[in-house]
């Protein structure tokens, strides 16, 4: 799989799935735009040291102005992988409405704004791939994560609608990971009970960011030409569709 000559935007590139995805696209030959609220300069340097091409951009995916500035500086665009996301746990009776609003803003509004910018950048060229990140919890639900589950379920609905709207030129798909060994999961500080819950899938383990990155590259690459409106689930079999 090669992305030589292509420009790929990866949001949430400072850590976790986004960082692994950016590295994978760079290894495959793409020019990678690394977007995050946190600093991605060190990752850009690392990619360039390995003979790749990368630029670092600060962006808040929940802020329309910030997203507009991001796309204004990119130019022609082939692939977008929107990996930015947050999780704020809390039972619904005690959850501040601000925590709900922030998760909707980053996870769902952010997906909308990034997809909107991508479509505007791709439509004149008549081709492109958009991959949004949802979660297995959009299918399964989880006590204490109602806002997160709602935001990620919204991403699936957004993916399906955009796939119909943008076909056949732009393909829009989603990836719904299960528990992945990222800073968001914080596996090192889990209790035995928490780890048991996260590894209760048929494969009996949590995943690695690189495993999710491979699913994203599949959807963006030559093997994904008949895929649009789909949600694939690298979740160890926890979700079977």
Q: Tens of pLDDT along 10-55? A: 999 999 999 999 999 999 999 999 999 999 999 999 999 999 999 9
39-48's contacts with Cβ under 8 Å and 24+ in sequence apart are 39/14, 40/13, 40/14, 43/13, 43/14, 43/19, 47/22, 47/23
Q: What does pLDDT average to in each consecutive run of 10 residues of the chain (241 residues)?
A: 95 98 98 97 97 97 98 96 96 96 98 98 95 98 96 98 98 97 85 89 96 98 97 96 86
200, two tokens? 């209760």
Give me the pLDDT at residue 64, please: 98
Give me the pLDDT at residue 143, please: 95
Active site residue 2: no
Give me the pLDDT at residue 241, please: 86
Lay out the sheet containing 7-11: strands in order across: 53-58, 31-36, 7-11, 79-82, 128-133, 170-175, 231-232
Spatial CB neighbours of 225, under 8 Å, sequence gap ≥ 6: 171
Give me the pLDDT at residue 29, please: 98
Rounded Cα–Cα distance for residues 111 and 80 (Å): 11
CB 231 within 8 A of CB 241: yes
Is the domain covering 7-232 a CATH 3.40.50.720 domain?
Answer: yes
Q: What are phi and psi of 62, to 5 degrees?
A: -85, -10
Of the residues 148, 166, 209, 238, only one is catalytic, namely 148
Rounded Cα–Cα distance for residues 237 and 219 (Å): 19
Q: What are phi and psi of 132, to 5 degrees?
A: -105, 150
223, two tokens? 């093997």
Q: Interior CA angle at 8 toward 5 and 9, to 5°?
A: 155
pTM over 0.85: yes
């Amino acid at each position: 799989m090669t992305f030589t000559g292509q420009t790929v935007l990866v949001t949430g590139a400072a850590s976790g799935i986004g960082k692994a995805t950016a590295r994978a696209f760079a290894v495959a030959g793409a020019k990678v735009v690394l977007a995050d609220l946190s600093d991605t300069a060190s990752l850009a340097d690392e990619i360039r040291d390995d003979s790749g091409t990368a630029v670092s951009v600060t962006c808040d995916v929940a802020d329309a102005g910030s997203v507009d500035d991001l796309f204004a500086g990119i130019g022609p665009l082939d692939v977008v992988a929107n990996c930015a996301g947050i999780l704020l746990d809390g039972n619904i009776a005690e959850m501040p409405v601000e925590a709900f609003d922030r998760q909707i803003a980053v996870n769902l509004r952010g997906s909308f704004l990034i997809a909107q910018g991508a479509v505007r950048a791709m439509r004149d060229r008549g081709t492109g791939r958009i991959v949004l990140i949802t979660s297995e919890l959009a299918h399964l639900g989880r006590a204490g994560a109602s806002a997160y589950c709602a935001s990620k379920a919204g991403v699936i609905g957004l993916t399906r609608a955009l796939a119909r709207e943008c076909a056949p030129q732009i393909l829009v798909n989603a990836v719904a990971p299960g528990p992945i060994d990222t800073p968001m999961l914080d596996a090192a500080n889990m209790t035995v009970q928490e780890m048991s819950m996260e590894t209760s899938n048929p494969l009996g383990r949590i995943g690695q960011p690189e495993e999710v990155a491979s699913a994203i590259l599949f959807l963006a690459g030559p093997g994904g030409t008949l895929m649009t409106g789909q949600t694939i689930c690298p979740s160890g079999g926890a979700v079977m569709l």
